[in-house]
């Protein structure tokens, strides 16, 4: 049994008007098209560009939940980078110096005894530790803690605390201003380049006062955090409030100096070194807690930072591709063009987008051409 397939309906043909034996189509009437029937399709070029894939460094951060890789130090690649070697050397040096100062604290103060007596007896000698604190407020210099303990040895608990507070606030305010106004541009480039610094800058801006106060109560030198946070966008008054509320940390160091001086003269407890070691341990624990808290906050914004970096690369790619439009070749106005010969039509030149578009113009027919036309 066979079935007949019905033919496809033929497409409608437009109405033709016979005129002088030639088929002509009706003129186009724009009024026959309703405005709601006209649809204009628009699109954004960036919508058709996919988000770039993560780079190897970004993929490394995305593959773990923490900011730091604890197993990295056990790989050979880690020790082949000079940057990592410098960081490890600085860390080991700082820890060694802190331990040596805690252990040989009594001998250090005995060596500084002549200088401390001279500073105490000299009029205006209290300006010397203030000047030292201001100078040592700029990284990579260090020694704030030693000067604070020395002030406790020379001036006692009350006056020593006032001197350290004044020197600390003035020095770190100048430190904040210098890094904020002269290193902000470089910090902005580093924030876009380094994922770790970008996450830290985001945490500082969002955490504000809380993050600044927590870090200043750790064993990390205050002038280092000041320089870092000033380039991350932390406000000056927020920094100043955190610096004032963290002055009790300096009070502890001054008290250690007072106890050391009393122990040397037989007026106080003989376990001043033991007290100093205990204070160092407490500061070490506080530093570890603050460090892990900040790293946890950085890990929370890590994925968002990486996604923004990828979208930024997508935007640059879309901007670059938007310039790859159909380009009009540019010609010199006096360059030879096809048809530039005797009897050819002339043309007018219009400069469009750096190129030359030539529109042909009608040519006046000469006598020879008219005679030929009459004969035909």
Q: Would you say residue 23 has pLDDT above 80? A: no
Give whichever of 105-114, 270-279, 314-323, 337-346 has the largest mean pLDDT: 105-114
Q: What is the pLDDT of residue 289?
A: 85
Q: What is the pLDDT of residue 221?
A: 77
As a whole number, mean pLDDT of residues 311-335 equals 62
If you average pLDDT over every residue of the chain, what do you get?
74
Q: What is the pLDDT of residue 174?
A: 92
Distance CA 158, CA 135 (A): 23
As a whole number, mean pLDDT of residues 315-332 equals 59
Q: What is the pLDDT of residue 263?
A: 58
As a whole number, mean pLDDT of residues 2-27 equals 55
What single DSSP character describes residue 231? H
Answer whether 141's CB lies under 8 Å from 135's CB. Answer: yes
SS3 category, 194: coil
Q: What is the pLDDT of residue 62?
A: 84
Percentage of the chain modeled with pLDDT above 70: 66
Q: What is the pLDDT of residue 17?
A: 52
User: Which pLDDT tens digit goes with each residue over 172-207?
Assistant: 999 999 988 888 888 888 888 888 888 888 888 888
User: Which pLDDT tens digit goes with each residue over 211-236?
Assistant: 888 888 877 777 788 888 888 878 88
Peptide bond into 140 cis (omega under 30): yes
Answer whether 254's CB lies under 8 Å from 152's CB. Answer: yes
What HEC string does 47-94 produce?
HHCCCCCCCHHHHHHHCCCCCCCCCHHHCHHHHCCHHHHHHHHHHHHH
Q: Which of these, 244, 180, 238, 231, lies nearest to 209 by C-alpha position?
A: 238
Identify the weakest region by mean pLDDT among 15-19, 69-73, 74-78: 15-19
Q: What is the pLDDT of residue 326?
A: 46
Distance CA 47, CA 53 (A): 16
Identify the weakest region by mean pLDDT among 48-52, 65-69, 94-98, 215-219: 48-52
Q: Which pair of structure tokens corresponds to residue 3?
A: 């079935």
Identify the weakest region by mean pLDDT among 7-16, 17-26, 336-345: 336-345
Answer whether 347's CB lies under 8 Å from 337's CB. Answer: yes
Q: Would you say residue 170 has pLDDT above 90? A: yes
Identify the weakest region by mean pLDDT among 59-63, 141-145, 190-194: 141-145
User: Which pLDDT tens digit goes with each residue over 235-247?
Assistant: 889 989 988 998 8
Instruction: Give the helix/strand (H/E) hosting 299.
Output: helix 272-322
As a whole number, mean pLDDT of residues 334-342 equals 47
Q: Would you say residue 354 has pLDDT above 50? A: no
Give the C-alpha distances (Å, rounded to integers) separating 325 from 41, 319, 321. Answer: 19, 12, 8
Q: Give pairs for 269-273: CB < 8 Å, separation 24+.
A: 272/105, 272/106, 273/102, 273/103, 273/105, 273/106
pTM of the model: 0.60
């Amino acid at each position: 049994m066979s079935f007949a397939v019905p033919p496809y309906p033929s497409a409608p043909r437009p109405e033709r008007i016979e005129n002088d034996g030639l088929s002509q189509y009706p003129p186009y009437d724009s009024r026959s098209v309703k405005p709601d029937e006209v649809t204009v399709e628009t699109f954004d070029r960036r919508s058709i560009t996919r988000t770039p894939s993560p780079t190897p460094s970004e993929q490394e951060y995305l593959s773990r939940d923490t900011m730091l890789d604890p197993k990295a130090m056990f790989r050979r690649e880690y020790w082949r980078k000079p940057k990592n070697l410098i960081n490890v050397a600085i860390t080991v040096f700082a820890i060694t110096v802190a331990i040596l100062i805690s252990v040989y604290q009594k001998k250090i103060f005995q060596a500084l005894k002549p200088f401390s007596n001279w500073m105490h007896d000299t009029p205006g000698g209290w300006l010397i530790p203030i000047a030292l604190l201001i100078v040592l407020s700029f990284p990579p210099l260090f020694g704030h803690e030693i000067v604070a303990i020395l002030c406790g040895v020379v001036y006692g608990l009350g006056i020593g605390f006032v001197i350290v507070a004044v020197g600390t606030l003035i020095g770190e305010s100048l430190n904040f201003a210098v890094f904020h106004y002269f290193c902000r541009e470089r910090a902005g480039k580093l924030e876009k380049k380094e994922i770790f610094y970008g996450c830290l800058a985001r945490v500082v801006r969002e955490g504000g006062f809380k993050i600044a106060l927590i870090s200043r109560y750790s064993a990390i030198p205050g002038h280092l955090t000041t320089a870092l946070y000033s380039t991350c966008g932390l406000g000056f008054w927020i920094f100043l409030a955190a610096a004032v509320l963290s002055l009790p940390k300096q009070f502890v160091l001054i008290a250690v100096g007072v106890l050391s001086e009393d122990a040397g003269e037989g007026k106080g407890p003989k376990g001043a070194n033991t007290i100093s070691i205990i204070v160092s341990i407490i500061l070490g624990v506080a530093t570890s807690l603050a460090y892990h808290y900040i790293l946890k906050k950085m890990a929370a914004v890590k994925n968002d930072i990486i996604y923004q970096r990828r979208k930024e690369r997508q935007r640059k790619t879309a901007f670059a591709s938007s310039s790859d439009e159909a380009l009009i070749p540019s010609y010199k106005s006096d360059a030879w063009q096809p048809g530039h010969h005797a009897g050819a039509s002339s043309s007018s030149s219009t400069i469009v987008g750096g190129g030359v578009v030539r529109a042909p113009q009608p040519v006046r027919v000469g006598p020879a051409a008219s005679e030929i036309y009459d004969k035909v």
